[in-house]
Structure 1
Amino acid sequence: MAVDPSGQDLARLVEKDPGGPVVMLNLLRFAPDGRPSYEEYSRRAGRFLARYGAELLYAGDGEAPLVAEEGQDWDAVLLVRYPSREAFSRMVADPEYQEITGLRSGALTEAVLQPTTPWFTRGDGDG
């Protein structure tokens, strides 16, 4: 299973850019003994988030799902806000960032990395 975006994935992300910030949903399934490696990746990744104007909005452990098919549970969930899709793409292509991605890749057996777009912007709708 893929756990890291490919060059084609990044090109498609930027190509479909509606403009504005993007909140990236991260669903993570750890390899046996993978959590310490991911925690080290997270510590090191913080400076790249700052460098590219991103912000960790939420990080937490997944618990038993209330509604889901078998196999749809996740070990951890993160929400990260980037100022733009381009900023995310530049961050993951950064050669210094690439030096730490092995920590993340080796820690995971499966991942979902899904960009989101807001339903409402401030002042629109009731949300």
Structure 2
Amino acid sequence: MAVDPKISDIQRFKQEDTGGPVVMLNLVRFKQDGGRTTYKEYANAVLPFLKKVGGQPLYVGDCSTPLVGEPGQLWDAVLLVRYPNRSAFLQMAMDPEYQHVSKLRTAALEEAVLQATTPWPGSP
């Protein structure tokens, strides 16, 4: 199950860069033994790195029973984080100090979706 991006994922992410803002959708499923606690530790530790690149959390919340969904599509939490552009996200991800902190994320998660989204023209 996927938790961290592969090199090929990062290359594709860079190639699809429009130069504009990006909101990263995070769907996460925590490991049973302490995953939620470890992820909260990560969430607090990542804030200075977000601020450094101009990123900002827009929404963080727990998921409940899906209204529409298939087995295996149950998630524990959802997070939306805005970055000025994909380069800012990559700058954060490549920071050696952040990479140390990101080990908490990896340790906390059983599975994740990290999906870049871009605003529709004319949307707020």
Tell me the residue number matched to 1:121.
Answer: 122
Give the superposed CA RMSD: 1.2
- Output aligned runs, 1:32-111, within 5 Å: 32=32, 33-111=34-112
Identity of aligned residues (%): 56
Return the offset for 1:46.
0.2
Number of aligned pairs? 123
TM-score by length of 1: 0.92
Return the offset for 1:8.
2.3
CA distance in 2, matches of 1:72, 1:16: 26
Return the offset for 1:11.
1.8
Q: Secondary structure at the match of 1:27?
A: strand
Return the offset for 1:6.
2.4
TM-score by length of 2: 0.94
Tell me the residue number matched to 2:19.
Answer: 19
CA distance in 1, matches of 2:71, 2:46: 31
Tell me which amino acid in the other structure corresponds to 2:59. Answer: Y
CA distance in 1, matches of 2:41, 2:22: 25
